[in-house]
Amino acid sequence: MSLLAVAGQVASWTVGLSVNPLTLLGLVPVFAAGLMFMQYIAVDPESHPVDATKLRPTYDFIVVGGGSAGAVVASRLSEVEHWSVLLLEAGGDENEVSDIPTLSGYMQMSQFDWMYQTAPPTDSTYCLAMIGDRCNWPRGKVLGGSSVLNAMIYARGNRHDYDRWAAEGNPGWSYEDVLPYFMKSEDNRNPYLAKTSYHATGGYLTVQESPWRTPLSVAFLQAGKELGYQVRDCNGELQTGFMLSQGTIRRGSRCSTAKAFLRPVRNRPNLHISMYSQAIKVAIDPKTKMAIGVKFIKNGKPYLIKAKKEVILSAGAIGSPHLLMLSGVGPKEDLEELKIPVISDIKVGYNLQDHIGLGGLTFIVDEPVTFTKTRYQTMQVAMEYILRERGPMTSLGGIEGLAFVNTKYAPPSGTWPDIQFHFAPSSINSDSDQVRKITGLRDSIYNTVYKPLKNSETWTILPLLLRPRSTGWIKLKSKDYKIYPEIIPNYFTYREDIEVLTEGIRIALNVSATKAFQRFGSRPHKIPFPACRDYEFDTDEYWECSLRHFTFTIYHPTSTCKMGPATDPDSVVDPRLRVYGVGKLRVVDASIMPNIVSGNTNAPTIMIGEKASDMIKEDWGVKIMI
């Protein structure tokens, strides 16, 4: 095959992406040939799941959504040979470009992304630096879901999170209950981690550190020590501390849940995977109030496939409540307003929680040690990745380090930190065009604040609020499935959220002031957002104004189908994830979290899929051993 033909093949893989990576790298023939080469040397080069075209009229289980939880559930339920399982995914399959860790940002605003946006706040309290005062909320519309879009960070949350779930009336969800399910999935390939009692090998999901990092990653760990924190495995016994990022990567490439859980079982005759199949409604018998199947659209054709045993919604914290409400399960007043017959009047879409922080908190250094597009998108770097699966392109979305720190508002035990840091040896100026696109940052803001840094060496800490008090909701706007629901995150309703984040920002400033970073001449970038010019740098008012402008979500929406006991009026599902008021219907994804976990949500969502699979098996008479 000629290089021109190879380049054409690679271009076909990237149709719909926000940028063609060949243009991105300026290496059309070399990178094109390399990607084609990778396709053939991959361990499982032809193992992508096949899109089922001949569907049965009935399956035992229908799983809606092939993302971080749904891929797990479909894989695990199909382990029972006499059960038939249909997995419906609204998007298509991932490709070789999405496998490249450093290009994670380019998966957003592509055909892999639902491209949700928040509703503009009515009181001008957040997302004010974004076009239309709307924050982008990327969600995966692809086999593997948001595990194809994210930065691949593997973080489990805090043991107190899960103990709190159990204490609030959810037996079986304590830390001791869920830890085995984290370990069941895991194939940890860092020897110093794998040999501990908190990690495991041999699971479907590969977890390891990136094989490449900048010198600033070492400075980040040293800075943590200077501030009195330990460098530790924050997925181990204790969470508080600093660490190199652990991620869901395998031999330098992304390990999505589709790659981990679906590709190895793609030939099971009892598992059908139907892509480009958008669910539009759960079919529920109004007399018995039992789920009987799923209505969906595939290739423009409507289908109704029935489920003998259960329908399982794994469409995510936006998609699952949207489908429930379209099906007559949700707040009675809202459904009646849209003339949707009410099957079960429960608080679907409420309790929306998300991790937010200050975007663009930038520091400048004097040495050429940061991650910039011009420095690392070169022929040498591309060939190192293609031939050795190493080098800068293996970076976990640019996130080299994590830290979990305690502000003065954190519980006095010190074991339940309230702020998380994502450390990146780059900033908005390092890849300005794409960052502006995926954040929706206004050009006027970028030109004023970040354009002056165009040729500077910069790094970033993203300080995140781990347990926000403010909650929002997902509200149905129409009975037409094509119209997205309204997303109202209600950021900063509670002033305490601003106060905790302000303290977190000041700890980040202290990181820059350590000897470890001062050897590079680190100092904060102080050009304010235009609307914050009247406030002195590092005052409470300055940081509040900054937070309300560059309100940054790390894309962790949860809790819109809250798990809880029947005595809790806000609960949507019971502790076995069965929907209240409807039989044969469960929700299995991040939406069931009663409270958001203290860390990145992908690993906990996979754990939920693992645990739910065993609960479903138990409820249908299959003996479980874990």
- List pLDDT tens digits, range 368-382: 999 988 887 788 998
Structure tokens belonging to residue 38: 């990778």
| DSSP for residue 466 | S
This prediction has a pTM of 0.94
User: For position 433, what pLDDT does the model report?
Assistant: 80
User: For position 4, what pLDDT does the model report?
Assistant: 34
Please give the angle made by the CA atoms of 153, 155 and 161, to the nearest 5 degrees.
Answer: 150
| DSSP for residue 446 | I
User: For position 364, what pLDDT does the model report?
Assistant: 98
User: For position 25, what pLDDT does the model report?
Assistant: 43
In sequence order, which ranges of 266-360 are alpha helices (DSSP H)? 316-326, 332-337
User: For position 29, what pLDDT does the model report?
Assistant: 39
Report whether 85 belongs to an annotated binding site.
Answer: no
pLDDT band at residue 31, thresholds of 50, 70 and 90? very low
Distance in angstroms (rounded) separating the CA atoms of residues 252 and 382: 13
Give CA torsion, residues 262, 267, 273, 274, to 10 deg. 140
Structure tokens belonging to residue 63: 């799983």
Average pLDDT, the chain: 92
Query: Which residues lie closer than 8 Å to 422 by C-beta, 6 or more apart?
Result: 153, 399, 401, 402, 461, 462, 464, 554
Q: What are the strands of the beta sheet with 246-247, ordered from one edge?
A: 186-188, 205-209, 246-247
pLDDT tens for residues 322-378? 999 999 999 999 999 999 999 999 999 999 999 999 999 999 999 999 998 888 778
3-class state of residue 557 by DSSP = coil
Q: Would you say residue 195 has pLDDT above 90? A: no
Query: Which residues lie closer than 8 Å to 46 by C-beta, 6 or more apart?
Result: none
User: For position 99, what pLDDT does the model report?
Assistant: 94
pLDDT tens for residues 509-526? 999 999 999 999 999 999
Q: Would you say residue 34 has pLDDT above 60? A: no
**Catalytic residue ranges:** 556
Pairing of strands 58-64, 85-88: parallel
Phi, psi of 576 (to 5 degrees): -105, 15
pLDDT band at residue 399, thresholds of 50, 70 and 90? very high
User: For position 36, what pLDDT does the model report?
Assistant: 44
User: For position 374, what pLDDT does the model report?
Assistant: 80
Q: Which residue has the tokens 């639902």?
A: 114
Phi-psi region of 599 (alpha: psi -120 to 50; beta: other; left: phi over 0): left
Q: Would you say residue 14 has pLDDT above 70? A: no
- Of the two residues 232 and 379, the one the predictor is more confident about is 232
- On the 0-12 / 13-18 / 19+ scale of CB atoms within 10 A, 30 is middle
Structure tokens belonging to residue 389: 């699966």
Give CA torsion, residues 137, 141, 144, 149, to 10 deg. -40
Structure tokens belonging to residue 99: 């496998």
Q: Residues 163, 83: contact at Cβ < 8 Å?
A: no
Q: Would you say residue 475 has pLDDT above 70? A: yes
pLDDT band at residue 424, thresholds of 50, 70 and 90? very high
Give the CA distances from residue 529 to residues 406, 435, 526, 547, 552, in Å, rounded to whole numbers and listed in that order. 27, 17, 9, 10, 14
